[in-house]
A and B are shown apart, each in its own frame.
Chain A
Amino acid sequence: MRNPQLNGHGELQHLLTIEGLPRDILLSILDTAAPFTEVAEREVKKIPLLRGKSVFNLFFENSTRTRTTFEIAAKRLSADVINLNINTSSTAKGESLLDTVDNLAAMHADMFVVRHASSGAPFLIAEHLARTGRDHIHVVNAGDGRHAHPTQGLLDMYTVRHYKKDFSNLVVAVVGDVLHSRVARSEIHALTTLGVPEVRVIAPKTLLPTEVERLGVRVFHDLKEGLKGVDVVMMLRLQNERMQGALLPSRQEYFKEFGLTQEKLDLAKPDAIVLHPGPMNRGVEIDSAVADGGRAVILPQVTFGIAVRMAVMSMLAGH
């Protein structure tokens, strides 16, 4: 079976997941993103690569930040952007996912940016478009269930490369709720694909998926142990509902054991950087002193995120 994100020439047709993408495609996305960081500093923040194209932001799950960054990225590329928050519109009226897609495709969409609570939903859409002869419409996964959030993974790689230059000598730790995290999965696949020699995950056993070590990571259950000698710390967001269902006892105990404080960060390398995909829960997974401190690169991540999303969109549908 062909990788559904690649066309017959092995080029990127959709961006659905980082898993299985060749290293040179990841690198070319990062390389393409670099000049786009300057567009934001121009007086006219626009380039015409997507002029005349229609980008539909299909958000079946609430998100302000990701939707906004995709919208800005598309607009800076001169695309027409249509935002649909579908959990409040048609599926609530009983329309199926693929009916929604068919309707929007009939409006001559060029790209769907999809966020959905179900893992694999963007694959279903891409497969449906291919089966119905409309695979000129590109699909970008903006987060599906616990499965993947590839543009987040890529912007994290952009950030790491920006500060560390080279992937081949790094120790990177992914800390927190890996079990429910699409960001973690995308980060892990990106890091291992780009040649990071040691990727660690640090979490209590209740927040790690089965056989996670098969993804090519070292597993730690002790934050202090896991942070020793680390170059990059990638924090994950802990959602409040995890306190239910017996996964964790309390926010306080989680913060005490797995929250990133300055004291714990001092165990990492002196020049270690701290990433977080946002939105942050201060005092739960990360202490404010770290979030606002000199090692945090959380706001640059947001800025780079727009450039990376511009890169992805222009590579998929650009003139």
Chain B
Amino acid sequence: MKIHIKNGRVIDPASNTDRVQDVFVAGSKVVALGDAPGNFLANRVIDATGLVVCPGLVDISARLREPGYEYRATLVSEMSAAVAGGVTSLACPPDTDPVLDEPGLVEMLKYRAKTMNKARVFPRGALTVGLKGEHITEMAELTEAGCVAFSQADTPIVNTEVLHHALQYAATFGFPVWLQPRDAFVGRKGVAHDGEVATRLGLTPIPVTSETIALATILQLARDTGARVHIARISSGAGLNMVRDARAHGLSVTCDVSINHLHLCDTDIGYFNPHCHLMPPLRSQSDREALRQGLADGSIDVLCSDHTPVDDDGKQVPFDEAEPGATGLELLLPLTLKWGSEMGLPLAKTLSRITADAARVLGVDHGRLVVGAAADLCLFDPEAWSRVSRENLLSQGKNTPFLGLELPGKVRYTLVDGNVVFEAKPNT
């Protein structure tokens, strides 16, 4: 299959490319930019006039809910949502049921995902068996089965000695470890940021110290063990400053933030909106501003969807009983564009946080649009706005605090390995 993508605005953040030119795809690769290679006879020509042509998006954290939580979402529904959102590579956390702590489960997930011919799936394996924080997993075996990193999802390890050993063992092989900074005790029963909003609404609070205490431990152990640590879902300005300081002192840690925390804060809870029950919690307005700035200046490497589909029954309950999380695969691009334009950033820099930077942090060879690279592409109309609605979301999870919002950026085509895996219906 040969595809000629005509007249699009080609943006490749990694090479700082931003110009209108043609892209030529043959087989699974990008074979030329600008002029057609000799003897190129396209089977298909895509007119990309007015569209941005960029590397397929890399979402470093999206829950697919399989195995175990098929009532919330299935691989079929979520992989369709991914490519509809322009996401061609995604990494999923190990908090399925059963937990991804055995090579067979990881192989099965990879196999099932591959047969769908949609986005690439990169599982993170469990750092400890059953995420219980007691025994470390067979990390080498799990890596062989396809895990790209190890994590505890959002379950903290209580025993710091176990965490220390887990990091030492991972460092032995150079395996990356992803940790969400959350103290096992402080704010354990909490459901909202410890501030004026939680005080007014009478919601059990989660103090910022839950994040900073855990970060202090993680950063200290990362320094001590030399493990490759990624800090997942930073939520506070204080936490971000700790990561900045650690980096300034030579520690090579990376970190990410979710689309929710980049755009919302605790006041958005309003009258107990259960869609704003998220983990970590939405923090204060000043925290949000710090995160937006941190992502712009590179202190935060990556923006992710933290896609967490929840069924209606999980949200149609009082705030504190609601399942935390929000759907996000299809909102990653629009909310990234919204942030970038509000911050006055060039489009290439904006997109870098969900392409090149995301691939770098994930340690995968994607997120670039250059000759010879796999033809994972996202073609989107930056001027088209659409309303977030239950009907428009392909994800089985319709749970998002952004319902009803008009957002920029409509994906028109998504290619993975040179195949068109998503094509928007005309006039949508």
Question: Which residues of A approach B to under 8 Å, CB–CB?
Answer: 1, 4, 19, 96-98, 116, 118-121, 123-124, 127-128, 144-148, 182, 185, 209-212, 214-215
Q: Tell me the nearest residue of chain B to A212, going by C-beta.
A: B199
Contact indicator B199/A148 (Cβ below 8 Å): no
Contact indicator A96/B202 (Cβ below 8 Å): no
Which residues of B sit under 8 angstroms from A182, Cβ to Cβ? 202
Q: Contacting A1 at CB < 8 Å: which of B202, B270, B317?
A: B270
Q: Tell me the nearest residue of chain A to B318, going by C-beta.
A: A118
Contact indicator A210/B202 (Cβ below 8 Å): no
Which residues of B sit under 8 angstroms from A212, Cβ to Cβ? 199
Number of B residues with CB within 8 Å of any CB on chain A: 23
10 other A-B residue contacts (CB within 8 Å) besides A119-B272, A210-B195, A212-B199: A19-B200, A98-B317, A118-B317, A124-B272, A145-B202, A147-B203, A148-B202, A185-B202, A210-B196, A210-B198
Contact indicator A146/B313 (Cβ below 8 Å): no
Distance between A99 CB and nearest chain B CB, rounded to angstroms: 10
Chain B stretch 308-352: residues in CB contact (< 8 A) with chain A: 313, 316-321
Question: Which residues of B approach A to under 8 Å, CB–CB?
Answer: 194-196, 198-205, 207, 270-272, 274, 313, 316-321
Contact indicator B271/A1 (Cβ below 8 Å): yes
Complex: A108 Cα to B313 Cα, angstroms: 24
Which residues of A sit under 8 angstroms from B196, Cβ to Cβ? 210-211, 214
In the complex, 6 of the A-B residue pairs with CB atoms within 8 angstroms, ordered by the A residue number, are: A97-B318, A146-B204, A209-B199, A210-B205, A210-B207, A214-B196
Complex: A121 Cα to B194 Cα, angstroms: 20
Q: Contacting A209 at CB < 8 Å: which of B205, B271, B313?
A: B205
Which residues of A sit under 8 angstroms from B202, Cβ to Cβ? 119-120, 144-148, 182, 185
Complex: A211 Cα to B197 Cα, angstroms: 9
Q: A96-B313, A209-B205, A210-B205 in contact; A119/B199 too (CB < 8 A)?
A: no
Complex: A315 Cα to B257 Cα, angstroms: 48
Q: A1-B270, A145-B320 in contact; A119/B203 too (CB < 8 A)?
A: yes
Contact indicator A123/B199 (Cβ below 8 Å): no
| Most chain A beta-carbon neighbours within 10 Å: one of B194, B196, B201 | B201
Distance between A210 CB and nearest chain B CB, rounded to angstroms: 5
Q: Contacting B201 at CB < 8 Å: which of A97, A127, A147, A214?
A: A147
Which residues of B sit under 8 angstroms from A209, Cβ to Cβ? 198-199, 205
Distance between B139 CB and nearest chain A CB, rounded to angstroms: 37
Q: Tell me the nearest residue of chain B to A124, going by C-beta.
A: B318
Q: Contacting B200 at CB < 8 Å: which of A1, A145, A185?
A: A185
Which residues of A sit under 8 angstroms from B313, Cβ to Cβ? 96
Which residues of B sit under 8 angstroms from A19, Cβ to Cβ? 200
Distance between B268 CB and nearest chain A CB, rounded to angstroms: 11
Contact indicator B320/A123 (Cβ below 8 Å): no
Distance between A125 CB and nearest chain B CB, rounded to angstroms: 9
Which residues of B sit under 8 angstroms from A96, Cβ to Cβ? 313, 316-317
Contact indicator B194/A119 (Cβ below 8 Å): no
Contact indicator B317/A211 (Cβ below 8 Å): no
Q: Tell me the nearest residue of chain B to A245, going by C-beta.
A: B189
Q: A145-B202, A210-B205 in contact; A119/B271 too (CB < 8 A)?
A: no
Complex: A136 Cα to B196 Cα, angstroms: 33
| Most chain A beta-carbon neighbours within 10 Å: one of B204, B207, B319 | B319
Q: A4-B271, A185-B200, A209-B199 in contact; A119/B205 too (CB < 8 A)?
A: no
Q: Contacting B317 at CB < 8 Å: which of A4, A119, A124?
A: A124
Which residues of A sit under 8 angstroms from B195, Cβ to Cβ? 210-211
Complex: A60 Cα to B198 Cα, angstroms: 22
Which residues of B sit under 8 angstroms from A147, Cβ to Cβ? 201-203
Complex: A98 Cα to B274 Cα, angstroms: 14
Complex: A123 Cα to B273 Cα, angstroms: 10
Distance between A190 CB and nearest chain B CB, rounded to angstroms: 14
Complex: A269 Cα to B411 Cα, angstroms: 70
Complex: A319 Cα to B272 Cα, angstroms: 32
Q: Tell me the nearest residue of chain B to A2, going by C-beta.
A: B271
Contact indicator B198/A120 (Cβ below 8 Å): no
Distance between B209 CB and nearest chain A CB, rounded to angstroms: 11
Question: Considering the complex of A and B, which 5 residue pairs feature the smallest CB-CB distances, nearest first?
Answer: A120-B272, A147-B202, A146-B202, A118-B318, A209-B199
